[in-house]
Amino acid sequence: MADYFQKQFNWVLFITYGIAISFLVWHHEMWRDELQAWGIAASSSTLTELFQNTRYEGHPMLWFLMLWPLAKITNNPVAVQVLHTGLVLITAYLIIFRSPFSILEKVLILFSYFFLYEYGAIARNYQVGTLLICLICVLWKDRRKNLVKISILIFLLMQANAFACLIGLGLSVGLLFEELSHKPCWPLTTRQIGSALVILTGLYLTSLSVPPPDSSIITVWVDKFDIGTVWFALAGIAHGFLPLTGLDEYYFWNYSYVPFGLAIKIPLGLLLLAVAFFSMPKDKGAFVVLVACITFIFVFTYLKPRGNFRHFGHYTIALIAAFWIQGNRTRLTGRNIISVGYFGILVLLIQLIAGINAYYRDTRYPFSNSRNVADYIKNNYSADVAVAGVFQDVLTGVRWYLQKPVYGLETQKYGSYVLFSHKSWNDSLNAQPDSVTYSRYLDFQKKHAPALLIMGYHFLPVPDIGHTDTLHTPEGNYLFTCTKKFEGAITREDYYLFNVTQLPK
């Protein structure tokens, strides 16, 4: 009878979570990072072009390879969200029906900040890694039988994103520990050699995603000891376990709650790290996985001091994976299933609050105003209106929701995504004066009529409706008037439409 009610509740939970995620995704406007990958996939005619176009992304290829065939079927970027939501629901199914967690723990995991929002609503490659980690944990229950399958999944995991690769390394260390614990390390079996080669190949392919020297992002590496970077990495642990987002404004995303300054984050990070290790149940294999994953993530965030909640959230993923592996073991040995522990429960309870907060604010405020701008243009301008503006990063979303090319006035070319080379993306381009933008727009307008100017701003102040600028040219004076604004995006992707008239001489 208990098993019957457990099964029924599992289905209720799965359906409830599916409805909640679908409602959130329906209201979520994709921003430039989500549509950057889609733009690359849609702009690549062949796989060779796809590999070439991703060279500045700093991400492995798996997510782009998943999007590429979709982009051959449809131009509608909603396909990204459909695919991503499918992956989210598969992950939820594994947690609900194939994990050793209790009912309470399943609820807390699924509705926590990372599973509900960061990796649930925002369609990027982080969910791919989360799904693969869950699949590995399911197969880990019969690790010896599934050694090759697990190795293949780790290979794929390393192609998801850099932080998924780090957890893949941690799982590989755990896999090696399990193998050495089971039998002497020599002689190696064919399966062990093959599995090791698969994992090493995955690691090598991931290393190829490091951007070339002329990249304008992801260029800073720490090559000597720096205490300030140590503090940053420790603060990342606090973010990874306790993503306490703001409660009083819609700019909550990637913003820690106000009292969380470095003076609190650093000791809290150390405390959480110690508690995570000491609260870990006694299963050696699971403990090795947790220690290895946390160590790899910490070292990476030190060597590459750049990250947000979505990156640091892999600390939580590693913790859940370790407890999942142990839970499989305790079920097999007939002992009581060891849950995520008191530390895990506390972390997930706090993340539940953060998840609900993020859910509420994303359904209330636009994540990006790109979809709103595109809808407004479709409803208020003729279908043949030519669109130009700045800057190319914020125009990416408008281009795909509008379903027509948008001309970047700082790069002076049409673009479907941002090429993060120093030539195409640098401080000078991103700080182009309005006067230069206006002058280039006039040239664009002469060749493309009717035309529309969209302004986005990297810096304050921003204009209000009715704001005017006058541009003096040899041909005469032109008045640029802000006629419509779209403000209030969570990502600050706000837009301003301008009307241009020539003043009488």
* Within a domain: 398: yes
pLDDT band at 232 (very low <50, low <70, confident <90, very high): confident
Final residue belonging to a domain, choices 364, 393, 421: 364
Phi-psi region at 425: left, alpha or beta (left = phi > 0; alpha = psi -120 to 50): beta
Kindly report the number of other CB atoms within 10 A of residue 251's CB atom: 16
CA 208 – CA 41 distance, rounded (Å): 19
Are residues 312 and 416 part of one domain?
no
On whether both 374 and 328 belong to a single domain, the answer is no
Quick one: what percent of the chain has pLDDT higher than 90?
71
| Cα gap 245→356, rounded to integer Å | 11
Confidence of residue 185 (pLDDT cuts 50, 70, 90): low
| Alpha-helical segments (H) within 183-313 | 190-207, 227-241, 262-278, 284-303, 309-312
**Cα distances (Å, whole numbers) of residue 222 to 25, 144, 212, 302, 403:** 38, 39, 17, 7, 41
Domain identity same for 445 and 323: no
- CB contact set of 310 (below 8 Å; sequence gap of 6+): 118, 119, 122, 124, 126
State both tokens at 342: 């008191």
With DSSP H G I counted as helix, E B as strand and the rest as coil, what are the percentages for the chain, rounded to 5? 60, 10, 30
Pairing of strands 468-473, 495-502: unpaired
The answer to whether 167 and 133 have CB atoms below 8 angstroms apart is: yes
Report whether 351 contacts 344 (CB < 8 A). Answer: no
Cβ–Cβ under 8 Å, residues 63 and 124: yes
pLDDT single digits (tens) 376-386:
999 999 999 99
328-366: per-residue pLDDT in tens?
Answer: 877 655 444 546 777 788 889 989 999 999 999 999 999
If asked whether residues 360 and 386 sit together in one domain, one would say: no
Q: Does residue 109 surpass a pLDDT of 60?
A: yes
Are residue 344 and residue 411 in the same domain, yes or no? no
Which of 40-44, 216-220, 345-349 shows the lowest mean pLDDT across its residues? 216-220
Residue 421 lies in a domain: yes
Residue 329: burial class (beta carbons within 10 Å; 0-12, 13-18, 19+):
buried
Same domain (yes/no): 395, 310: no
Q: What is the pLDDT of residue 258?
A: 42
Residues 446, 322, single domain; the answer is no
Within a 10 A sphere around the Cβ of 502, how many other Cβ atoms? 12
* Three-state secondary structure call for residue 290: helix
- Say if residue 203's pLDDT is above 50: yes
Q: Quick check: is 239 in a domain?
A: yes
Long-range contacts of 225-229, Cβ-Cβ distance < 8 Å, separation of 24 or more: 229/302, 229/305
Are residues 287 and 265 located together in one domain of the fold? yes
113: in domain: yes
Q: How far apart are CA 227 and CA 224, in angstroms?
A: 10
Q: Say whether both 301 and 425 belong to one domain.
A: no
Over range 309-334, report the average pLDDT. Answer: 85
**Are 263 and 133 part of one and the same domain?**
yes
Read off the pLDDT of residues 261-290 as tens digits, 9 standing for 90 and up. Answer: 566 666 766 777 677 666 665 688 898 999
Residue 371: name the closest of 27, 84, 42 by CA. 27
**Which of 37-46, 231-240, 442-451 shows the lowest per-residue confidence on average (mean pLDDT)?**
231-240
Q: Is the model's pLDDT at 498 over the cut of 70?
A: yes
Q: What is the pLDDT of residue 278?
A: 67
Q: Is the pLDDT of residue 245 over 80?
A: no
37 is a domain residue: yes
- Asked if 337 and 412 sit in the same domain, the reply is no
> Strand, coil or helix: what is 75?
coil
What's the number of domains the chain is made of? 2
Cα angle 261-311-195, degrees, rounded to a multiple of 5: 145
**Higher-scoring residue by pLDDT: 282, 403:** 403
> Could you list the residue range(s) of the whole structural domain that residue 483 is in?
370-502
Spatial contact of 367 and 29, defined as CB atoms under 8 Å apart: yes
Local structure of 141: helix, strand or coil: helix
Give CA–CA dist 270/257, Å, rounded: 19
Least confident of 24-33, 91-100, 436-445, 454-463: 454-463
Decide which of 338, 364, 390 is a domain's last residue: 364
484 domain-assigned:
yes
The reported pLDDT for the residue numbered 5 is 77
Same domain, 269 and 417: no
Q: Over range 214-231, report the average pLDDT.
A: 79
Query: Which of these three, 364, 379, 411, is where a domain ends?
Result: 364
Residue 215 belongs to a domain: no
Average pLDDT, rounded, for the chain: 90
Residue 23 belongs to some domain of the structure: yes
Average pLDDT, integer, range 61-71: 98
Alpha-carbon span 326 to 288, nearest angstrom: 11
What pTM, to 2 d.p., does this model score?
0.93
Please check the confidence at residue 175 and state whether its pLDDT lies above 50: yes
